[in-house]
Each structure stands twice: as C-alpha cells, then as structure tokens.
Amino acid sequence: MFAELVKALDEKKSALERELAAIHEKDPSQTGAGQLAQDAVENERRLALINEQSIKEYKALWQSFTPPGPFPCPFCYVFHKKISPLKPLPRVEDVEPVKCTVCGETFEIPVELLYA
C-alpha cells in the first residue's frame, strides 16, 4: 500500500508540472494575471515539497502506523505536515479505495497490495 501512495505522489508531481506549464503558456491579458501568478507560486511550492526527503519522512511516519489504525494521507503530510487519516471505502472488484478525511483525495489500492 505504501508503494501505491508514493506512486500517487509521483503522479501528483507530474500533474503539477503539467499545470505549471499550462499556466506559463496562458496569455495573462485574457485571464486574471494575479490568479495565474498565485496558481504558479502554489504549484511551484507543491512541486518543491515532493522530494526524496519528504518521501523518507512520510515512510517513517507510515511505518509507525499499524492496522487497524488508519494510515496517513501522503498529500496532507507532504504538503501541510498534517497527519490526516485515510478512511477505507467499499471495495470495488479488486480495488479498495481509501479517502482522506481532511483533503478529500481518494486513492485506489489494489487489494493484493493493501497491507504489503
């Protein structure tokens, strides 16, 4: 399960890079330049937070949790240093989704990797 959540961080990093590139391509005269600048700053901040050190810190936190206690959300921890529980949702075929009770992000974990 840990590997799947780290994978979600990598996917989030790629999405932030794409969003940042799209922001830089927009014409500020057609959209709010101030909002574009704020979005760019926030995306750059989040990109900088997804790094080897933050993943190591998340792994140490992860290892301190044991079932049946809820595991912590990787996004809340990496972006805000908050420990937010992941709540299991009803299983769908061979995937068990978990949802953060704070940020609302949903992660789909293959059942065979649930506690691997």
> Rounded to the nearest 10 degrees, what angle do helices 33-49 and 2-25 cross at?
150
Q: What is the pLDDT of residues 58-89, one digit of tens each?
A: 999 988 887 777 889 999 999 999 999 999 89
Mean residue pLDDT of the chain comes to 87
Residue 1 has pLDDT above 90, yes or no: no
Q: What is the pLDDT, as a whole number, of residue 57?
A: 95
- The whole-model pTM stands at 0.82
Query: Residue 21: is its pLDDT beyond 60?
Result: yes
Q: Which of 53, 49, 54, 77 is nearest to 65 (CA)?
A: 77
Res 46: pLDDT:
93
- What is the enclosing helix (H) or strand (E) of 36? helix 33-49
- In this predicted structure, the answer to whether residue 116 has a pLDDT above a threshold of 60 is no
